[in-house]
Chains A and B, each alone.
Chain A
Amino acid sequence: MDVILFLAFAAIAVVCAVNVVVQTHPISSALSLIGVMGSLAVLYLLLGAEFIAMAQVIVYAGAIMVLFVFVIMLLNAGAESRRGRSLTAQLLGIPGFFALLVLLSYTVLRLFPDAAHVKFGGFTGGSAKDVGKLLFTEYLLPFELTSVLILIAIVGAVVLARKELE
C-alpha cells in the first residue's frame, strides 16, 4: 500500500513539475504547481507529518498559489515569446540539469545507503500538538521573528505595490 501510494503521488508530482516547466502559459504552470503541492501533501502524510501536510494544502496550495494566480490575472500575462534566449542558459543549462540531478542523487544515495524504509505510521510525532509544543518552547524566538518577518513582508509588499498604483 505504501509503495503504491508513494509511486502514484510521486508520479503525479513529477508529471505536474514537468508541466510547470514546459507549459508556456503561466496560468497552466501555476495550476500544475498546485498539483505538485497537493501530491506532496499526501507524501508528507505518508511520512507522518500531519501538520505540515495540512499547512502545505492551506498555505501553499491555498494562499500562495492563489496569490500567484491573482497576479497572473492582474497582469494579464500571456504565453511567453520565443525570442531573446540566453546563450549561456542554453549551453550550460541542459547538461547542468542532468549533472545536477545525477550528482544530487549520487550524493543522497551515498550519504544514506542503508536508511530505514518508510512505512505509514512509522513516525507519529508530526501532529499539530507535537509541532506546536516544540514551536512554542524551543523555537519560540524564531517563531516570533517569523511573525515580524511576515509583518515586514506585508508592509513591504504594500509599499511596493502602492507606489506604482497611485
Chain B
Amino acid sequence: MNLLTLVLFAPLAGFLAVLLLPGGNPALIRRVTLSLSLAIFAASLGLAFGAPQAVDQPWIPSLHIRFHVQLDGLSLWLVLLSTFLTPIAVLVSWKHIDRRVKEYYAFLLLLEFGLAGVFVSMDLFLFYVFWEVSLVPMYFLMAILYLYTKAATFDYTELMQMLASGRLSLNPAEQLWLFLAFFFAFAIKVPLFPLHTWLPDAHVEAPTAGSVMLASVMLKMGTYGIVRFCLPMFPDAARRCADWIVALAIIGIVYGALVSMVQPNMKKLVAYSSVSHLGFVVLGTFSFTQAGLDGAVYQMLNHGISTGALFVLVGFLYERRHSLEIKDYGGVSTPAPWLSTVFLITTLASIGLPTLNNFVGEYLVLQGAAQANFRWAVFAALGVILSACYMLWMYQRAFYGETPETVRSHMHDLSGREWAAILPLLVMMVWMGVAAQTFLPRVSESTSVILKQTTVNVRFQVQAPGLRGRGLGEVANAR
C-alpha cells in the first residue's frame, strides 16, 4: 500500500464513512468531511516530495485490464489541485447547503475520488471508469474498444510501447478517426468552442462548491485527456488537425471574452471567461512546442486556482445578497473592503497580471503559439486585452460607486470561515505567479516526454501521404 494508493482510495473510504454517519447531525458531517479532506490533502502533499509512484496490478485478468495508476509531472499537480480544492469546496458550502447534507458531502468526496482517479489512471479502461463519474462519452468508449480489438490491451504504457516498436500500427485513416473520437469526447468537457454552451447553464444551476469543482478540476479532465492520450497516441492525426483545432481554440478565446463582456449574470460571466481561458490551454497544447505544452499544463492549474477563487467569491456574494445579477450589486467595497480587495486580486490574477499565476501560463502558451505560427499568437493575445475589459467592467459595476441601501443592508465583510476558504487560494495565486519554478520543472519533465513521442512518430511516418507535419526540426530552425 503506497502513498498514491492511499491518497487515491482515501476519498472513497471517506465517502463510505460519511454515509455511515448519522444524518441528523449536519455539523458533525461538515466537520468530519472537512477534517477528512484536509487529511487527504496533507497526505497528497507527500506525493510532491517522494519519488514518482506507480501501481500496476491485474484487475480483470481475462480481458487484460490492469489497475495501472501512475503519477508524473502532468498528473501530480492536477491531483494536488483536486485535493487542495476539496476542503475549500467543503468550506464554501458550509452554510449554503442545508438539506441532504450527508449525501452532499459524501458525494463531494466521491467526486474527489473520481477526479483523482482520472488524473492517475494509466489504463484506458480504468480512465474510462473514473471518467464515468461525470459524463458518458460514447465516442470515447467506441474508440478505446476499437483500439482494444487491435491491441488487446487498455494499458497506456503498453500501447505506447507497441506503437513505438511498430507492433501496433495504425494507418492514417484509423489514426484520424480514433483521434477525432478521443478528441471530441475531451473537447466537450474542456469545453472547446462551439461545444461550450452547456457550461454557463451548468454553472448557474450548480451550487457554489459544484461550480468550484466543475470549473477548477472537472474541466481539466478534458484538457488532461488531450495532453495525456490524444497527442502521444495519435501524433500524426493531431498534427494534421492542429490548424483546425487551434482555429477553434482562438475563436473560443476571443468569442468567450466578447460574450463575457455583455453578461448580466456574474456566474455566466465567469463561465464564459473559462471558455476563453481554456482556449489558451488547447492553443498551447496544439502548438507542439515545449513552451506551449508547459504553458498549457500550467494554465490548467492556474485556471483551477483563479477561476475556482472567482466562483468561491461569487458564492460569498450570493450568500449575502441572494442574487447573481451584476445590477443588483454596486458599491460593495464600502461595506466589505476586504471582500472587495480579495475579489480584485482574484480578478487581476484572472486577467493575467504578472506576479500572479495566470500570467506565467498565458505567456508560455503565447510563446509556444508564436513559435508554431506567429499569427496564432496575435489573435490569441487579443483575448488578453478583452479579459481586462470584461473583468474590470464587472468589478467596477459591482464594487465601485455609491452603495445602494439594498446592498448595504446585506453586505458584511469576510467571516473567519470564508477567510479560511479563500486565503489558501490567494496564497497559491501569488506563489504560482512568483515561484513558478516550484511547479514547472516537474511539468516540463513530462511534457518533454510527450513532445518527444509526438515527434518520434512523425519522423517515422513523415512520408505518409497528405501529411504536412510541422516537425520539431522546423521549429528549431525558426529559432
In the complex they form, do A and B come into direct contact, defined as C-beta atoms under 8 angstroms apart?
no
User: Which A residues are within 8 Å of any B CB, using their own CB?
Assistant: none
